[in-house]
Amino acid sequence: MPKHEVDYSLYLVTDSTSAILGDANICEVVEAALKGGVTCVQYRDKTSDTGVLVSTGRKLHQITKKYNIPLLINDRIDVALAIGCEGVHIGQDDLDLPIARKILGEDAIIGVTVSNIAEVESAAKGGADYLGIGTVFATSTKENTKSIIGVEGLQEILLRIAAENWSVKTVCIGGINASNVSRVVWQSSGKGKSLDGVAVVSAIMAARDPETASRELLQLVKSPPAFAKFGVTTGQQTRSPQELLVLVPSIIKAIHSKKPLSHNMTNLVVQNFAANVALSVGASPIMANYGEEARDLAKLGGALVINMGTVTPDGLTNYLKALKAYNDAGQPVVYDPVGAGATAIRRSAVKTILGGGYVDVLKGNQSEVLSCVPGGSNVQQRGVDSGPGNQNLQELGSAIKELARLRRHVVVMTGKTDLVTAGGSVFAVGNGHEYLGMVTGTGCCLGTAISAAVAAHPNDKLAATITAILHYGIAAELAAERPDVKGPGTFVPAFIDELYNVRKATVKGNVEWLKRAKVTVVS
C-alpha cells in the first residue's frame, strides 16, 4: 500500500512486558487485533535482544501483510531493515529523522513522537509521515513520559499544524481507552485539522479479548460521543447580541415548562441557596453528592453542576463518576472550578476533572478560569473571592476564547462584566449589582441557573448560558432597587423573589425587564 494511503484510525503499539502482555503470545494478540480492525501496527519492545526483535518482527510482518496493514518498528532502523517492513517510529531520544530518512528512503513510513510545538515543527519540516502526539493522559504503560498534555495540549498542536498547513498525519497516545476515545477524537476535531487516529497499547494488548476490544475501539473512534449531538455550531458562536436577545424569552419559557432537573454537587456553603435559586428559575433541584447515584439521575433529562467549592479526595471520585454518567447520557455538565488557583490540590483537581470528561460550560471568576488555561496561569488567588477583575476585557476575552476553542465548550468568566464565549465571538454581559458580590454563594448559584437553562435548551448552549446570566443579573438589579432592600441581607430574599418574578412575567409575555440587558461583543 502506498504510504499516503495508510489508515491511522486505530494504531496498535505492542508491548511484550508481563505487566501488559501477561502470558499471552504477542503474535496471537496482534492477529486478533487485526481481525478486530486495527489499521496500523508498531512493534515496540525496549528490552529484547536484537535477535529476538528480528525474529519476532518477521513473524509479526508475516501476519500484518496478510491483512495489508503496515508494520513499523519502534526505534530500531536496523531491525526494520532486516525485516523489510514498512517503516519505523522514532522518539525524541532516538536516531534523528533526517538520518532515518536517508537510511530507509522516501517510501518508508517514519513516525515521530512529539509533545510540544517545537518538536512538531521540527518533525513536520523534517518530513515525518505522521506524529505520535502525547502523552495525552497519565499512563503506567510507558516509564518516564515527559509531559501530560491533556486534550488541550493536543488541540494546541493540531491547531498549529492546521495554521501552518503541514500535511503530516497525526495520532495521539497515552492513556487512551474505550472510556475516553470518542471524547478525545471529538474534542480534537473541527478546527481545520483533526486527528487521523489514536494509538493504544494496554487497551488492546492487555485486553482479555483483543479482537473485541479492537472492534469496539474502532467503532468508538468513528462515532461521536453522546454529548456531541448538541455541540455549539460555528453559526451559533458568532451571532449578534440582538440575535441572542430574541431567544431569551423562549429559553426562560422552556425552563418553566420542562422544569428540568438541576443536579448539584456543590459546596457546603451554598446548598440551600442553590436549591432555592433552582426553584425560582423554574428547575427542579437535587443536591446529590454521591457519584453512584448519578447514572440514574443522568437519565432524567437534566444537567449536572460540579462545584468544586469543598474539594476532598472522595468528592473528586464522586465528581468523576457523575461526569462520566452525564457524558454517557449526553446530558450537559456545568463545571465551577471554585478556588482553582488557590491551592496545589485544587490546581490538580481541575486537571483531573477536565481530563476525566467533557464539561459543556466552564464557569468561574477571573482567576478560576485563568487557572484552567493550559500550562496554568500565574494569577495567584486569595481565597475564593472574585478578585478585583480590572484586567483588560479584550485580553481576558482572547484568553477565554482560546480556552473554549481548545476544549470545545462554553466558557463564562464572571466579574463586574461577565464574559461568555463558545470559541467565536466573546460576549460581555454588564448586568448585575454589587450586592451579588457581598453575599456568599451568588457566584456558585449562577452555575445552578445556567444548568437549568442548558438542560431545557441543550441545542443552543451559548444562548442558554447568556439567558441565565441575564435573568440572574437583571433580577439582582430589580431586587437591589426595591424599597424593602436595605443591604446584602435583605437583598437575598428579594433576589429570590425577583428571579421568580422575572420568570413569571416572561411566561405571561411581559419581557419589559429584558430592556435592561447590556450585551455587547468585545472581540
Query: Is 465 an interacting residue with respect to ligand 3NM (CB under 6 A)?
Result: no
Nearer to ligand 3NM, 45 or 460 (CB): 45
C-alpha of 456 from chain center: 22
Rg of the chain over Cα atoms, rounded to whole angstroms, equals 26
Among 85, 172, 444, 445, which one carries the catalytic annotation? 444
The distance of closest approach from Cβ of residue 179 to ligand 3NM in the complex, given in angstroms and rounded to an integer, is: 12
Strand partners, 133: 114, 172
Instruction: Quote the CA–CA distance of 122 and 117 in Å, as a whole number.
Output: 9
Nearest residue (CB) to ligand 3NM, 135 versus 371: 135
Nearest alpha-carbon partner for 157 in 112, 223, 218, 99: 112
CB of 171 to ligand 3NM, least distance (A): 10
- Options 9, 39, 135, 431; binder of ligand 3NM; rule CB under 6 A: 135
For residue 467, cis peptide bond before it (omega within 30 degrees of 0): no
Q: With contact defined as beta carbons under 8 Å apart, do 136 and 183 qualify?
A: no
Query: What is the rounded CA–CA span in Å between residue 254 and residue 252?
Result: 5
Cα–Cα distance measured from residue 147 to residue 209, given in angstroms and rounded to the nearest whole number: 31
d(CA 292, CA 408) in angstroms, rounded, equals 27
Q: Which stretch binds ligand 3NM (CB under 6 A): 141-149, 250-258, 367-375, 398-406?
A: 141-149
CB of 95 to ligand 3NM, least distance (A): 16
The smaller minimum CB distance to ligand 3NM, of residues 72 and 251, is found at 72
| HSE, side-chain direction, 13 A CA sphere, residue 358 | 31
Q: Whole-number minimum distance, CB 20 to ligand 3NM, in Å?
A: 7
Cβ-based nearer residue to ligand 3NM, 196 or 460: 196
Q: How far is the CB of 52 from ligand 3NM (least distance, A)?
A: 19
Does 16 help bind ligand 3NM (rule: CB under 6 A)?
Answer: no
Q: How far is the CB of 113 from ligand 3NM (least distance, A)?
A: 4
CB-based burial, 312-347: b 16+ in 10 Å, e otherwise: eeebbebbbbbbbbbbbbebbbbbbbbbbbbeeebb
Among the listed ranges 129-137, 186-194, 284-292, 337-345, the one in contact with ligand 3NM (CB under 6 A) is: 129-137
Alpha-carbon distance values, 116 to 67, 91, 198, 354 (Å) = 34, 13, 17, 20
Residue nearest to ligand 3NM (CB): 134
Query: Which residue of 9, 14, 39, 145 would you call a contact of ligand 3NM, by CB under 6 A?
Result: 145
Per CB under 6 A, contacts with ligand 3NM among 150-209 are 173-176, 200-203
User: DSSP letters along 166-222, please?
Assistant: ---EEEEESS--TTTHHHHHHHT-SSS----EEEESHHHHT-SSHHHHHHHHHHHHH
Examine the residue annotation and report whether 372 is marked as an active-site residue of this protein.
no
Complex with ligand 3NM: residue 139 or 331, whichever CB lies closer:
139
Contacting residue, 16, 39, 139, 451, with ligand 3NM by CB under 6 A = 139
**180 backbone dihedrals φ, ψ, rounded to 5°:** -125, -5
Q: Which is nearer to ligand 3NM, 141 or 506 (CB)?
A: 141
Binding mask 86-125 for ligand 3NM (x = CB under 6 A): ---------------------------x------------
Supply the minimum distance, in Å, between the C-beta of residue 202 and ligand 3NM.
3
Of 85 and 306, nearer to ligand 3NM (C-beta) is 85
The reply to whether 141 sits near ligand 3NM by the rule CB under 6 A is yes
- How far from chain centre, in Å, is Cα 215? 24
> What 3-state DSSP class applies to 290?
coil
For residue 327, the minimal CB distance to ligand 3NM (Å) is 20
Q: Which one, 154 or 514, has the nearer CB to ligand 3NM?
A: 154
Sign of CA dihedral 152, 376, 366, 268: positive
Among 12, 13, 464, 480, binds ligand 3NM (CB under 6 A): 13
Place of cell 472510556: 179
- Helical packing angle, 442-456 and 271-281, nearest 10°: 40
Q: What single-letter DSSP state applies at residue 106?
A: T
Q: Which is nearer to ligand 3NM, 10 or 478 (CB)?
A: 10
| Alpha-carbon gap, residue 325 to 463, rounded angstroms | 25
Size of the site for ligand 3NM (CB under 6 A): 17
Residue 432 Cβ vs ligand 3NM, minimum distance, rounded to whole Å? 45
Binding to ligand 3NM, residues 377-436 (CB under 6 A): none
The residues that touch ligand 3NM, with contacts defined as CB under 6 A, are 13, 113, 132, 134-135, 139, 141-142, 145, 173-176, 200-203
Q: Which residues are catalytic?
A: 444
